[in-house]
Amino acid sequence: MSSIVLPSYNKNILRAILSLKLADRTLPELGDDDVLIKTYAASCNPSDIAFIQGGYNIVKKLPAVPGFEGSGTVVDAGKRMKNLIGKKVSCFIQDDIDGTWADHFIGHRHNILVLDEAMDMDQAACFSVNPFTAYALMQIAQLRESQAIIQNAAGGQVAAFIRQIAKINGIEVINIVRKQNTADILLAEGFKHVFVEQDDDFQIQLRDMAHQLNATTAFDAVGGPNSGIIFNAMPNDSELVVYGGLSNKMITEIDAMEIIFNDKIISGFNLVDWKSEIETDDFSIILNELQQMFIEGILHTKIQGIVNFKDIVQGLKIYLGNMSNGKILLKP
Ligand SMILES: NC(=O)c1ccc[n+]([C@@H]2O[C@H](COP(=O)([O-])OP(=O)(O)OC[C@H]3O[C@@H](n4cnc5c(N)ncnc54)[C@H](OP(=O)(O)O)[C@@H]3O)[C@@H](O)[C@H]2O)c1
């Protein structure tokens, strides 16, 4: 199979990207619960970028094929999975095996989602991770009965899904971005509460808005001082849920008094843990609900470009140049 291969981890993102090469790899034999998937498209997420830098919690034996997520058609299957041959699937694979940046990859019973024929296969390449993350995060806000939430990295795709799910549930969203042009786009799309983290009066305005709307849940994908600033700005009895570390910085600036006297807490969210804890029947209901929202166009991943595997370097540079513009899909 033709694959994008990572020879070694490199903290320097440019060097890591430049080291990626196309190569032929041999796939292992299928296990009884495995399927062989012919790739339609593979996505590139911040976790893939962190992975090739060696900065993610998943470390594979090298050389390895990156790619945690993708879509395709089942073309072969182990003995207990034969009924899936010919089915369209979306996958989220974090096992220590070759990933989705290849013309074929191996999925397992626990990491494939069998799709409706009506599902668009480009959208399916970005279906297994972000929509479920947004859904699960919004479950936290709803359980906490928050009337409003705060989120940073608000130009990204998880954030876009959160806005959509929040709107359906009548929950207000305070959005934080790092660039003025991302803020302008969100404002032009009709979103009211948008802050740029570099603005002089950002902290004061965020605090005022958080108290005014009673935003008692925040979703933090950035880390660093940004986390503390949001945490301190929230009203009493709030929860900051950390689900990403895009800044690559330690969380700082948290005012201890806010934790001690104002009943505020910080927690973490990880999709893999959420999936392992949810009942199978409940997950099937959520899968159907989300898939239907994609088929009806209520949810949609913004895709800024589609590149062939051989153009991986150019593709990743475009993605990293403006992540808020949307995902880059990789195709064989
Ligand atoms: N815990 C989990 O289970 C889980 C699951 C899914 C996703 N995630 C995490 O969720 C986060 C968002 O993922 P995504 O797929 O939605 O991302 P995305 O669509 O690729 O967009 C990333 C967004 O983050 C912004 N950003 C990047 N670096 C930043 C920084 N240092 N400070 C502030 N903003 C920054 C980008 O803004 P620019 O346009 O300005 O670059 C862009 O709007 C990532 O950290 C990802 O790892 C976690």
CATH number at 248 reads 3.40.50.720
State the average pLDDT over residues 23-33: 96
Structure tokens at 26: 């041999």
Are residues 144 and 265 both part of a single domain? yes
pLDDT confidence tier of residue 321, bands split at 50, 70 and 90: very high
d(CA 1, CA 38): 10
Overall size of the chain counted in residues: 332
Q: Look at residue 7 in the predicted model and tell me its pLDDT.
A: 98
**Residue 23 contacts residue 323 (beta carbons within 8 Å):** no
Q: Please tell me the predicted confidence (pLDDT) of residue 312.
A: 98
Ligand 1: nearest atom to the Cα of 155: 43
> 300 to each of 44, 111, 258, 292, how far by Cα in Å?
16, 21, 37, 11
The whole-number average pLDDT for the span 270-298 is 98
Say yes or no: 185 and 51 in one domain. Answer: no
pLDDT at 199: 92
Q: pLDDT at position 259, please?
A: 96
- The ligand 1 site (C-beta within 6 Å) comprises 45-47, 129-130, 133, 153, 155-158, 178-179, 182, 221-222, 243-244, 246-247, 269-271, 322-324
Would you say 100 and 93 are in contact if contact means Cβ atoms under 8 Å apart?
A: yes
For ligand 1, pick from 43, 45, 227 the residue to mutate: most ligand atoms within 8 Å of CB: 45
Average pLDDT over residues 238-261: 97
Q: Which of 51, 56, 150, 178 to mutate to test the pocket of ligand 1 (most atoms within 8 A of CB)?
A: 178
Are 48 and 118 in a shared domain? Answer: yes
Of all protein residues, whose CA lies closest to atom 28 belonging to ligand 1? 246
From ligand 1's centre to the CA of 244, what distance in Å?
Answer: 7
Atom of ligand 1 nearest to the CA of 46: 47
- Which letter does DSSP use for residue 77 in this model? E
The whole-number pLDDT of residue 150 equals 99
pLDDT over 70, % of the chain: 100
Confidence label for 30 from pLDDT (cuts 50, 70 and 90): very high
What domain range includes position 41? 2-127+301-331
- Minimal-distance CA residue to ligand 1 atom 45: 244
Q: For 10-19, what is the mean pLDDT?
A: 97
Report the predicted TM-score, pTM, of the whole model to 2 decimal places: 0.98
What pLDDT shows up at residue 80?
98
Report, in this order, helix, strand and coil percent for the chain, each rounded to 5: 35, 25, 40
283 located within any domain: no
**For residue 67, what pLDDT is reported?**
98
Cβ-based neighbours of 105, under 8 Å, separated by 6 or more: 1, 27, 36, 37, 39, 65, 67, 70, 72, 91, 93, 98, 99
Q: Could you tell me if 98 and 146 lie in one domain?
A: no
The predicted-structure confidence for 81-105, as pLDDT tens digits, reads as follows 999 999 999 999 999 999 999 999 9
Distance 246 CA to ligand 1 centre (A): 6
**Whether 247 and 320 share a structural domain:** no
Look at residues 99, 94, 69 and name the one whose alpha carbon lies nearest to residue 6. 99
Q: How far apart are CA 117 and CA 295, in angstroms?
A: 10
- Into how many domains does the chain fold? 2
pLDDT score, position 319: 98
Average pLDDT, the chain: 97
d(CA 53, CA 49): 6
Q: How far apart are the first and last CA of the chain?
A: 10
pLDDT in tens, 93-139: 999 999 999 999 999 999 999 999 999 999 999 999 999 999 999 99
Does 45 reside within a domain? yes
Q: Report the C-alpha gap between 189 and 293 in whole angstroms.
A: 20
